[in-house]
């Protein structure tokens, strides 16, 4: 039921298409313009069907940052990036041939109004920052990058916060190497990947535990656009994960089709915010082999709490958790918490429950099975999302469901207000 309601909400989310890059003097290609290459290879141009040399670091390895320029990553705090369709729209406009076109949080100021309400999918699919603890860019291979922070509402605002995991260890003497990754929704009809590499450095580190070897992310969230209404949490990759390398001519690690791109959101178990489970000690009991039939969901050690594994095979968790993942960030976060607390609630010992609680921040609410699917078939007559929510809320028997609905409503409001801004953003 929730899945269906949330799916219908997707129609209310705005659509945009546009090109964007991460801008900072620490990046490779900071001063690359449309004329630098024989083709338009500005940092904002999408990467598609390119050779490895063309897509890796956006083909900008010959355009390194100046010595000493780093993007700082304060452990346990947000790092604010500037994402824009033109360097002139950022505080680094001085070295842009077009000059200063900054306009608040607008990702692409001055673009003519254009709307892309075409397929019923929105473009906000999330983006991520990845890191490798290596200072020599010539040594870095695609499999070395670990995604450490996700912003699922990327790209909406120029200033975009990326939460840095508190347990990120210090970088080697020459700093670390990072990259921004983004794949947007297929609604514009193009299989567009984005990658911008930059030099980064972790500050304020307190932990010394290195990152785990990153694994391939797996598709495991609800995917209504492709007919999968429910998440399959046993199919997820847990822990350190690589970025997606998709739709290039060479060295892909993802092979999804044109209309089912991999995304930096719950669809591939990339939770919004800091990826706190990417360290070598994050899963002391190991991670079960992911599979569609896997019923053990590992619980990470997040520093300070004892880890444990719990079974998530309850129908309640399976039937109500997934939908939020697909479209709404706030709902996804709320739902995730509910999954974890449900796991805690059904674990067999009190000790297990309380340690899981500590690990997730809250375990006092449990998901009541009365919210599972099949209890109320929605009618087919057209209704607004708000009226669906109202009627759903009337039937809400748990405060968990109430808070999920609050989150969804908040998201609708937020997306509406962002809609005006999105009208200004067009692809070019
Ligand atoms: C990728 O590029 C090759 C060679 O340039 C071309 O033959 C092929 O059709 C392109 N594939 C796609 C999916 O665009
Ligand atoms: C980019 O251009 C500006 C202005 O010309 C210059 O000061 C800066 O050093 C350049 N940065 C890089 C990385 O080339
Ligand atoms: C994503 O970025 C926006 C804009 O900076 C910020 O408001 C939001 O909190 C960020 N999300 C996360 C999970 O950090
Ligand atoms: C990275 O940050 C640490 C902590 O602030 C500092 O000691 C170190 O010198 C920085 N590394 C580089 C290469 O700037
Ligand atoms: C499980 O993950 C694999 C690898 O990403 C994917 O091909 C498959 O569709 C997923 N199955 C389900 C049911 O999520
Ligand atoms: C999952 O279980 C079903 C039923 O036992 C089986 O047919 C299928 O092959 C299993 N799939 C995987 C990926 O293990
Ligand atoms: C934990 O749950 C309690 C009881 O519902 C609530 O008052 C509190 O705000 C929750 N804390 C967090 C961190 O979500
Ligand atoms: C959920 O919200 C509705 C309407 O706001 C309220 O009547 C109901 O008591 C709430 N239920 C719970 C369990 O908080």
Residue 132 DSSP SS3? strand
**Helix pair 2-10, 385-395: axis angle to 10 deg:** 160
Q: What is the pLDDT of residues 232-266, one digit of tens each?
A: 999 999 999 999 999 999 999 999 988 899 999 99
Centre a 10 Å sphere on the Cβ of residue 105 and count the other Cβ atoms it contains: 15
Distance in Å, CA 31 to ligand 2 centroid: 6
Separation CA 257–CA 333 (nearest Å): 27
Same domain, 216 and 349: no
Residues 280 and 411 in one domain: no
CB of 249 sitting under 6 A from ligand 1 = yes
Which ligand has the shortest distance to the CA of 155? 3
Find the Cα–Cα–Cα–Cα dihedral 97, 103, 108, 113, rounded to 10°.
-120
pLDDT digits (tens, 9 = 90+) for 84-106: 999 999 999 999 999 999 999 98
C-alpha 64 to ligand 2 mean position (Å) = 10
Percent of the chain clearing pLDDT 90 (strictly above) = 56
> What per-residue confidence (pLDDT) applies to 186?
76
Percent of the chain with pLDDT over 70: 63
Q: How far is CA 366 from the centre of its chain?
A: 26
Query: Could you tell me if 274 and 397 lie in one domain?
Result: no
Q: Which amino acid residue places its CA nearest to atom 7 of ligand 4?
A: 203
Distance between CA 335 and CA 407 in Å, rounded? Answer: 10
Task: Specify if 6 maps to a domain.
Answer: no
Question: How would residue 368 be classed by pLDDT, with cut points 50, 70 and 90?
Answer: very low
What separation in Å is there between the alpha carbon of 70 and the centre of ligand 4? 9
Ligand 4 atom at minimal distance to the Cα of residue 70: 14
Domain tally for the chain?
2
How confident is the model over 338-347, as pLDDT tens digits?
333 333 332 3
pLDDT (0 to 100) of residue 124: 75
Q: What is the pTM of this model?
A: 0.71
Residue 1 domain-assigned?
no
Question: Quick one: tokens of 410?
Answer: 């908040």
Q: List strands edge to edge, sheet with 71-74.
A: 71-74, 193-203, 176-183, 127-132, 146-151, 273-274
Take atom 9 of ligand 4 and give the residue whose Cα is closest.
Answer: 173
Distance separating alpha carbons of residues 66 and 87, to the nearest angstrom: 17
Residues 291 and 357 grouped into a single domain? no
Does residue 106 lie within any of the structural domains? Answer: yes
Residues contacting ligand 5 via CB (< 6 Å): 218-220, 232, 235, 292
- DSSP 3-state assignment of 309? strand
Distance 6 CA to ligand 8 centre (A): 19
DSSP character string of 70-88:
-EEEETTSEEEEEEESSGG
Query: Are residue 413 and residue 301 in the same domain, yes or no?
Result: no
Q: Tell me how far apart the alpha carbons of residues 216 and 290 are, in angstroms, rounded to a whole number.
A: 11
Are residues 32 and 128 both part of a single domain? yes
Residues 70 and 155 occupy one common structural domain: yes
Domain presence at residue 419: yes
Q: Does the N-terminal peptide bond of residue 260 adopt cis geometry, omega within 30 degrees of 0? A: no
d(CA 389, CA 396): 10
Q: State mean pLDDT over 208-213.
A: 98
- Sorted by sequence, the CB contacts under 8 Å of residue 324 that are 6+ apart come out as 2, 6, 222, 266, 331, 332, 334, 335, 404, 407, 408
- Please tell me whether residues 301 and 417 are part of one structural domain: no
Cα 113 to ligand 6 centre (Å): 50
Region of 416 on the Ramachandran plot (φ > 0 left; ψ -120 to 50 alpha; else beta): alpha
What is the rounded average pLDDT for all residues in the chain? 74
- Specify the ligand 5 atom closest to the Cα of 292: 13
Q: What pLDDT, in 10s, does the model give residues 1-42? A: 444 443 333 333 333 346 899 999 999 999 999 999 999 999
Domain containing 297: what range? 14-312
- Residues 348 and 414 placed together within one structural domain of the fold: yes
- So what's the pLDDT on residue 111? 65
Tell which atom from ligand 2 comes closest to the C-alpha of 30.
13
Q: Do residues 80 and 181 both lie within one domain? A: yes
CA 295–ligand 6 middle distance (angstroms): 12
Distance CA 302, CA 283 (A): 9
**Positive/negative CA dihedral, 262, 268, 270, 275:** negative
For residues 287 and 349, state if they share a domain. Answer: no
Residue 9 maps to a domain: no
Answer yes or no: is 294 within a domain. yes
More confident residue, 311 or 380: 311
In a domain, 394, yes or no: yes
Q: Which atom of ligand 4 is nearest to the CA of 201?
A: 1
Contacts of residue 348, Cβ cutoff 8 Å, sequence gap at least 6: none
Please give the distance, rounded to the nearest whole angstrom, from the Cα atom of residue 49 to the centre of ligand 1: 6
Q: Is any ligand 3 atom within 6 A of the Cβ of residue 128?
A: no
Give the number of C-alpha atoms closer than 13 A to the C-alpha of residue 114, restricted to the C-beta side.
14
pLDDT of residue 39: 97
Same-domain status, 124 and 240: yes
Q: In the predicted model, is pLDDT for residue 171 greater than 50?
A: yes
The arithmetic mean of pLDDT across residues 377-403, rounded, is: 41
Which of 67, 135, 200, 203 to mutate for ligand 4's pocket (most ligand atoms within 8 Å of CB)?
203
**b/e sequence 392-415, b meaning 16+ C-beta within 10 Å:** beeebebebbebbbbbbbebbeeb
**Centroid of ligand 2 to alpha carbon of 95 (angstroms):** 7
CB distance 31 to ligand 2 below 6 Å: yes
Q: Is 334 a member of any domain? A: no
């Amino acid at each position: 039921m929730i899945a269906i309601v949330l799916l219908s909400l997707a129609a209310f989310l705005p659509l945009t298409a546009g090109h964007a890059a991460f801008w900072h003097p620490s990046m490779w290609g900071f001063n690359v313009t449309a004329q630098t290459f024989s083709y338009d290879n500005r940092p904002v141009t999408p990467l598609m069907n390119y050779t490895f040399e063309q897509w890796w670091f956006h083909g900008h390895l010959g355009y390194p940052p100046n010595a000493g320029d780093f993007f700082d990553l304060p452990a346990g705090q947000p790092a604010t990036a500037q994402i824009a369709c033109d360097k002139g729209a950022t505080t680094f406009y001085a070295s842009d041939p077009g000059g200063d076109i900054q306009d608040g949080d607008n990702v692409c100021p001055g673009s003519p109004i254009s709307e892309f309400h075409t397929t019923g999918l929105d473009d906000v699919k999330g983006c991520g920052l990845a890191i490798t603890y290596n200072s020599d860019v010539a040594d870095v291979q695609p499999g070395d990058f670990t995604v450490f922070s996700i912003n699922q509402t990327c790209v909406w605002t120029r200033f975009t916060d990326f939460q840095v995991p508190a347990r990120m260890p210090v970088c080697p003497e020459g700093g670390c190497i990072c990259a921004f990754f983004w794949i947007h929704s297929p609604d514009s009809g193009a299989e567009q990947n984005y990658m911008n590499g930059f030099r980064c450095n972790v500050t304020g580190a307190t932990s010394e535990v290195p990152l785990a070897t990153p694994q391939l992310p797996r598709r495991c969230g609800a995917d209504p656009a492709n007919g999968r209404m429910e998440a399959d949490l046993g199919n997820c990759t847990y822990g350190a994960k690589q970025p997606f390398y998709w739709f290039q001519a060479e060295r892909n690690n993802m092979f999804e089709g044109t209309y089912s791109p991999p995304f930096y959101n719950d669809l591939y178990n990339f939770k919004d915010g800091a990826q706190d489970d990417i360290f070598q000690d994050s899963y002391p009991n190991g991670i079960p082999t992911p599979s569609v039939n896997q019923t053990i969901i590992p619980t990470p050690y997040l520093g300070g709490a004892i880890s444990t594994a719990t079974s998530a095979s309850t129908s309640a968790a399976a039937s109500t958790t997934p939908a939020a993942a697909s479209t709404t960030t706030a709902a996804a976060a709320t739902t995730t918490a509910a999954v974890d607390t449900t796991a805690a609630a059904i674990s067999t010992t009190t000790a297990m429950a309380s340690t899981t609680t500590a690990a997730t921040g809250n375990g006092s609410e449990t998901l009541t099975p009365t919210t599972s699917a099949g209890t109320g078939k929605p009618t087919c007559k057209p209704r607004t999302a708000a009226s669906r929510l109202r009627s759903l809320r009337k039937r809400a028997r748990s405060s968990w469901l109430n808070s999920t609905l609050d989150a969804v409503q908040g998201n609708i409001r937020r997306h509406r207000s962002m809609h005006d801004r999105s009208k200004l953003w067009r692809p070019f």
